[in-house]
A and B are shown apart, each in its own frame.
Chain A
Amino acid sequence: MLDPIILIPAAINGLTMGAVYALVALGLTLIYGVLHIINFAHGSLLMVALYAAFFLYRLLGIDPYLAIVVLVPVFFAAGYALQRSVIGTSGQGRDQNVLLITLGVSIVLENAALYFFSADTKTIDTSYSLEVVDLGVALVPLPRLIGFVAALVLAAVLWALIARTDLGRAIRAVAKEPHGATHVGVDVNHVFAMSFGIGTACLGAAACLLLPMFYVSPHVGNVFVLIAFTVVVLGGMGSFVGALIGGLLIGLTESLGGLLFGEAAGQLGIFLIFIAVLLFRPTGLFGSRLA
């Protein structure tokens, strides 16, 4: 048996990484829940947000946590525009077409980043990057603890936005019945674009929280995109609570699986969970709350 002295820190490590996965997955699950599209560009948009946070820090000295107030509105606008101009107009009734469009967008973004910024991985050194917090049972790096708390806060904010505001009500209406929503005066295309914008804005926040504890490279999105899909599918497409719990479960699987059976097994476990959930329980653990 493994000693709890190893097991507990590994579990905490997994939970904090899982919170980051949840952060990335929250935007994805909102976009899926409302637009019913699988957004392949999610990972590469995260990559762009990470570069934005990176250069804000390097060139202007803006702390990543402060950059949230810059990146969230910028990425909201970018997501809104992307949905209105590129993605929303090209569905033609087949969900695979949207999948291909978002795939094309991600190929362009990723390789443009490769062209402009080269394949080097970049990191930032803030004064708190290496700071750790003693939780009694384990030492946790400060940025990871902040990310963990922020994931909970972001999930709560999103839930409140959807459940308690007029926009949220319109979003829920469109998610459930787009034609009916049109008849009661909801501008469906606007709501679609708002949802996509909010989903992308989440990435702006996620990137700022991620940067102090991670790296950025043109292919960093690939690390997250499939994991984010797994989280979303596991939690139930369109469910925020599901995304949060799914993220934590996946983080735990990766960390404990890696500890017990070697690093490759941790990653393998994620994809096997993904396949198993898709095959045997496509509604996920929590079903869809939006649709």
Chain B
Amino acid sequence: MSRAAAVTGVVLALAVPALVHSDFWVGFCITVLLSTLMASAWNVLGGFGGQFSFGHAAFFGTGAYTAAVLHVALGVNAWLAFAAAGIAAGAVGVVIGYLSFRYGLRGSYFALVTLAFAEVLRIAVGSVDFAGGGVGLYLPLQVGIANMQFASKAGYYYVALALGAGAIAVAWRLERSRLGAWLVAIRENEDAARALGVDTLRCKLQAITISGAMTGLGGAFYANYYLYLDPGLAFGPGVSVEVLLAPIVGGIGTIWGPFIGAAALQLAGEMARRILGDAPGLSLVFYGALLVLTVKFLPDGLIGLGRRMLQPRAAHA
């Protein structure tokens, strides 16, 4: 049963570009998948490890700018640049993580310091010339698989699908691993975990590195998909907020929560646009309200809500 569902899911996901003939909806799916990747990335650190980052824009921006600058200014192959973006963002994760965790920042303080790191990078990148400065960086349109640019949305869709599915796989693997169990122990009670011999600094560092690298890949994909970057777009607080919304709305610390949250938020935003018109700020008003309502009434997110609704039925069967 569950295997059949999984096979159906995979086939359906692969068939989306063939079944959906509107560029708009394929683009919508790409957005959801990209959002799933970054939400899962945040979830590794924030959901499993309980370390809420408010500065994932630092990783997103690092990935986006690494890919763009390597490819455009230095002529590196786009796929190599893509991989380098993940590595660079992971390295930024190591640095931020080591400084924050080594000095024992927890809870809100960790959130604040990550936000400050992202702001430092935003200002620093905005003031160097090779990154386009405050004006931004345009990636030239050079369609070709070697350049990671595709003539149709279907090409981007498959890359995004691989990234989104890979992110889910990472979460699936993490949940069954020792690291995952240690991270949950740290989330629930860090002092107790350390007393039991968990190397908390090392675990948190591994989590922020994985999380940073995944987010960096998302940034690199963004750069190749939209072909434009500026410091506010890549390193601004908006990115950090968007990245943490989906896992919280979907269900924090779960495998599928980030995907469900990403899909629900994109749908809600799209519905708001259709009903109320495309006004600036409107969809974000809904996102903010959803964030408050979720934290207040659905601490386990939509996944938790679904489980609670299914549970009585399971008990009767």
How many chain-A residues does the 8 Å CB contact rule pick out?
45
- Contacting residues of chain A (100-114) with chain B, CB-CB under 8 angstroms: 100-101, 103-108, 110-114
| Cross-chain contact A103 with B52 (CB below 8 angstroms) | no
Query: Given the complex, which residues of B lie within 8 Å of A218, measured CB to CB?
Result: 281
Q: Which residues of chain B in 258-285 are interfacial with respect to chain A, using CB atoms and an 8 Å cutoff?
A: 279-282, 284-285
Q: Looking at the assembled complex, report how far the CB atom of A265 sits from the nearest CB atom of chain B, in whole angstroms.
A: 8
Complex CA distance for A233 and B244, rounded to whole angstroms? 24
CB contacts (< 8 Å) of A114 on chain B: these are 280-281, 284
Q: Is the CB of A275 within 8 A of B116?
A: yes
Measured CA separation A110–B238 after assembly (Å): 12
Distance in angstroms between the alpha carbons of A139 and B303 in the assembled complex? 61
Q: How many A-B residue pairs have CB under 8 A?
A: 121
Main SS class of interface, B: helix
User: Using Cβ atoms and an 8 Å threshold, which residues of chain A touch B115?
Assistant: 226
- Smallest CB-CB A-B distances: 10 pairs: A107-B288, A114-B281, A111-B281, A104-B291, A104-B292, A108-B288, A111-B284, A264-B127, A279-B103, A115-B281
CB distance from B281 to the nearest CB of A (A): 3
Interface residues of B in 282-311 (CB under 8 A from A): 282, 284-285, 287-292, 295-296, 299
* Interchain CB contact (< 8 A) of B127 among A37, A101, A262: A262
Q: Within the complex, which residue of B108, B241, B282, B287 is in contact with A38, where a contact is CB–CB below 8 Å?
A: B108
With contact pairs A107-B291, A275-B113 given, residues A96 and B296 touching in the complex (Cβ less than 8 Å):
no
Interface contact A92-B281, CB-CB below 8 Å:
no
Closest residue of chain B to A105 (Cβ to Cβ) is B292
- The verdict on A101 contacting B296 (CB below 8 Å), with A115-B285, A278-B105 known, is yes
Q: Is the CB of A95 within 8 A of B108?
A: yes
Taking the complex as formed, is B237 at the interface, i.e. its CB lies under 8 A from any CB of chain A?
Answer: yes
Is A240 in the interface zone, CB < 8 Å from B? no
Enumerate chain A interface residues (CB-CB to B < 8 A): 37-38, 86, 89-90, 92, 94-97, 99-101, 103-108, 110-115, 118-119, 218, 222, 226, 229-230, 233, 262, 264, 267-268, 271-272, 274-275, 278-280, 282
B10 at the interface (CB under 8 A from A): no
Option from B111, B280, B288 in Cβ contact (under 8 Å) with A99: B111
B230 CB–A CB distance under 8 Å:
no
In the complex, which residues of chain A have a beta carbon less than 8 angstroms from the beta carbon of B172? none
List, in ascending order, chain A residues with CB within 8 A of B111's CB. Answer: 38, 96, 99
The answer to whether B127 and A107 have CB atoms under 8 Å apart is no
How many angstroms from the CA of A178 to the CA of B111 in the assembled complex? 25
Do the beta carbons of A119 and B288 come within 8 Å of each other?
no
Would A115 and B120 count as touching, CB distance under 8 A? no
Kindly provide the distance from the CB of B211 to the nearest chain A CB, expressed in whole angstroms.
16
How far is it, in angstroms, between the C-alpha of A33 and the C-alpha of B161 when the chains are bound?
47
Check if B107 is an interface residue, CB within 8 A of chain A.
Answer: yes
A107 engages B241 (CB within 8 Å)? yes
- In the bound complex, residues from chain A placing their C-beta under 8 Å from that of B237 are 222
A80 vs chain B, min Cβ distance (A): 18
B117 engages A100 (CB within 8 Å): no
